[in-house]
Amino acid sequence: MDTTDYPIIIEDLNKEYGKVKALKGISFQVKKGEVFGFLGPNGAGKSTTLNILTGLLQPTDGESYIFNEKSKKLSKTTKHKMGVVFETNNLYKRLTGRENLNFFADLYNVDSSKVEELLAFFDLTKAGDRQVKNYSKGMRQRLLIARALLNDPQLLILDEPTSGLDPQSVEMIHRAVEDFSSQGNTVLLSTHFMEEADRLCDRIAFINE
């Protein structure tokens, strides 16, 4: 297998939380340029897998790679090539939406015109000057995805990106994934919605128990 064709490789991951066997030998690869859906009901182990993949959690056994680097040793260069949105909401709530994006734009040396472009795409231009603590769940999630796209990543990893959101936010997030993918980029997306997987994904993997 030519690993350059596979930005994500997951090999026989096992994870035990005490007596709970959360993962029992998960393996799959995500091809360059595809939208890969990771499907399963709540509690199946999707977040655990994505946390291990991005190096936030250690597996009990097995190995995973992003751009051919081991998850536990991802370099800054590789991290800059990826955008990650997990369920934990880590926005600065007392800052406005625009300030949140500009903060990261400065960090990544990204022009503020990109911030405006993303605010517009996610219909947050007007709301951009309001504090994030007053945002709805859908607005926060749109802002998180905008933030993940700021540094022009090649790979997007999304954990249940539309769970519990209003239909307008869901539609904008789906369009963002389609746009991102149409430029040749790679997406790994976990979801428990079959319709979402059906609309967005080129290939899917199921995980259950």
Residues binding ligand ADP (CB under 6 A): 17, 20, 22, 40, 42-48
| Shortest separation between residue 52's beta carbon and ligand ADP, angstroms | 9
Closer to ligand ADP by CB, 40 or 62: give it.
Answer: 40
Closer to ligand ADP by CB, 48 or 78: give it.
Answer: 48
Closer to ligand ADP by CB, 48 or 64: give it.
Answer: 48
8 Å CB contact between 163 and 171? no
8 Å CB contact between 204 and 37? yes
8 Å CB contact between 65 and 8? yes
> 24: exposed, middle or buried (C-beta count within 10 Å: 0-12, 13-18, 19+)?
middle
Q: Which residues contact 178 (CB under 8 A, 6 or more apart)?
A: 200
Closer to ligand ADP by CB, 4 or 90: give it.
Answer: 90
Name the H helices within the chain: 46-53, 76-80, 97-108, 112-121, 137-149, 167-182, 194-200
| Shortest separation between residue 133's beta carbon and ligand ADP, angstroms | 26
| Shortest separation between residue 122's beta carbon and ligand ADP, angstroms | 24
The owner of tokens 């795409």 is 121
CA distance 150 to 8: 21
Closer to ligand ADP by CB, 33 or 55: give it.
Answer: 55
Closer to ligand ADP by CB, 121 or 193: give it.
Answer: 193
Q: What is the DSSP letter of 91?
A: -
| Shortest separation between residue 80's beta carbon and ligand ADP, angstroms | 26
CA distance 81 to 110: 14
| Shortest separation between residue 48's beta carbon and ligand ADP, angstroms | 3
Query: How big is the chain by its Cα radius of gyration, in Å?
Result: 17
| Shortest separation between residue 23's beta carbon and ligand ADP, angstroms | 8
